[in-house]
Amino acid sequence: MIAVVAREERSRHSALLRRALLALVLSGITVACAGGAADQVASSLTPPVDNSEIDEAELPGAALVAPTLITTPTYEGSGELVHPDAVVFPERWQGRRYWVSGTPYPIGNPKYENPSIYEGYRASQMLVPEGAKNPLAQPGALGGYLSDPDMLYDPVRNQLRMYYRQTTLTADLLYLITSDNGTEWSAPQRVFTGERYGVISPAIVRESATSWRMWSVNAVAQGCYSLGAEISLEQRRSSDGMTWSEPEPVTLNIPRRVPWHLDVQYIPAKQEYWALVAAYPEGTTCSQTSIYFARSADGTNWTASPNPLLGPYEFAPLNDLVYRSTFHYHEASDAVTVWFSGARLGDGGFHFATASARYPYADLVRRVTGASPAMIERERAGLLSVQLMAARTEFEHAFP
């Protein structure tokens, strides 16, 4: 009898569960049908609660995840995002594990290239935090355009710091904004002034409460058209992340390539600095970059991989340009999550996108040190359409 009652109770519970799931599905369909395309882009719905005890990417043996396109709700509605930078909290911060900055760049229009903030409970998710308002900053009276956000966490202040660059007709300016909750951000504070194209793609690392370092690219000679001999990587030091020293030289050589944009992080478990470097073939321009992996024991002298981690023709949404990218090392699983950005050729020129991937560290090393990939052979062939050449030229005139 007890068994019969138990079976009846399980049957009744299953029926209720099926009806509840059906109602949930139907309500989801109703919501999806009721909203237009514009509503989907600007949606501020709160993402599902992440109740998992540990991020799947942190589990030992985390598998390879091939590059996967991320939906990015940009404030101007295009969904085209470039230059991501991620801060990852395995135990969550303000309820989320992943916090990512980036800039919209619809068909390469710098008017919209303003820093924005996203959150997610997995690497492939980028949602606008509830209550946040993108963009977080705009050029203002100085004019020019904004670009190159770089974000990090300050554990002493328990806050996110986002640096970004403003390029005017005569200067590169570096600004800092901060947030205690990821939603509300401070007014911009200028922390550095340099020559135009003199502080490209700043990458900041907090080594301790009194030791900060910034790496950047100096391309004052010809900007996007610079030759390898005309461009240099530099580093600056600070005791507070606000006041910066004079530049010091950095040695990073990628054979037959010109380094253009980079992201740098210190990896305590490996006792190394790592970087992802967007570099273009010598004699070409910044519209032809691929992503290379580099390592350093001291942050000054670097060893770069001979082959790219990702280049053109390898992933359709980034088919024609793989640009500035960012990463996070998961110590527990010895894996690396990468957020790539780049573009494909479409109507009107380059259309930009962001994608995520995950590589077991050993697999990543094999990829960047193995045989020369097919994209390099295609590069050497020089088979370019008139449309692709035009899109690259347009990109070069106003690079992000």
Amino acid at 35: G
195 or 46, greater pLDDT: 195
pLDDT confidence bin for 36, thresholds 50/70/90: very low
What length does the chain have?
400
Mean pLDDT computed over every residue of the chain:
87
Please state, in angstroms and rounded to a whole number, the distance separating the CA atoms of residues 108 and 54: 38
pLDDT confidence bin for 158, thresholds 50/70/90: very high
* The pLDDT of residue 31 is above 50: no
Question: What per-residue confidence (pLDDT) applies to 389?
Answer: 73
* The pLDDT of residue 386 is above 70: yes
* The pLDDT of residue 137 is above 60: yes
- φ and ψ at 62, to 5 degrees? -50, 130
Mean pLDDT of 194-200: 97
pLDDT tens digits for range 262-288: 999 999 999 999 999 999 999 999 999
* The pLDDT of residue 377 is above 90: no
Q: Which residues contact 164 (CB under 8 A, 6 or more apart)?
A: 115, 137, 146, 147, 148, 149, 150, 174, 175, 177
Pairing of strands 65-69, 81-93: unpaired
Of 207, 299, 218, which is closest to residue 259 (Cα–Cα)? Answer: 218
pLDDT confidence bin for 388, thresholds 50/70/90: confident
Of 176, 289, 182, which is closest to residue 231 (Cα–Cα)? Answer: 289
- For the chain, which residues make up each domain, given as ranges? 56-397
Please state, in angstroms and rounded to a whole number, the distance separating the CA atoms of residues 307 and 10: 58
306, 326 Cβ separation under 8 angstroms = no
Amino acid at 89: F
175, 163 Cβ separation under 8 angstroms = yes
Please state, in angstroms and rounded to a whole number, the distance separating the CA atoms of residues 262 and 294: 10
Handedness of CA 312, 315, 321, 324 (dihedral sign): negative
The alpha carbon torsion through 134, 102, 145, 168 (nearest 10 deg) reads 130
Alpha-carbon 50 to chain mean position: 22
Mean pLDDT of 183-200: 98
% of the chain beyond a pLDDT of 90: 78
The CATH label, of 3.10.150.10, 2.115.10.20, 2.60.120.10, 3.30.1360.30, for the domain at 56-397 is: 2.115.10.20
Question: What per-residue confidence (pLDDT) applies to 18?
Answer: 42
To 5 degrees, how large is the angle CA 288–CA 289–CA 294? Answer: 160
**Range scoring the smallest mean pLDDT among 11-15, 354-358, 389-393:** 11-15
Please state, in angstroms and rounded to a whole number, the distance separating the CA atoms of residues 172 and 167: 5
* The pLDDT of residue 159 is above 60: yes
pTM here? 0.84
Please state, in angstroms and rounded to a whole number, the distance separating the CA atoms of residues 136 and 147: 12
Mean pLDDT of 143-149: 97
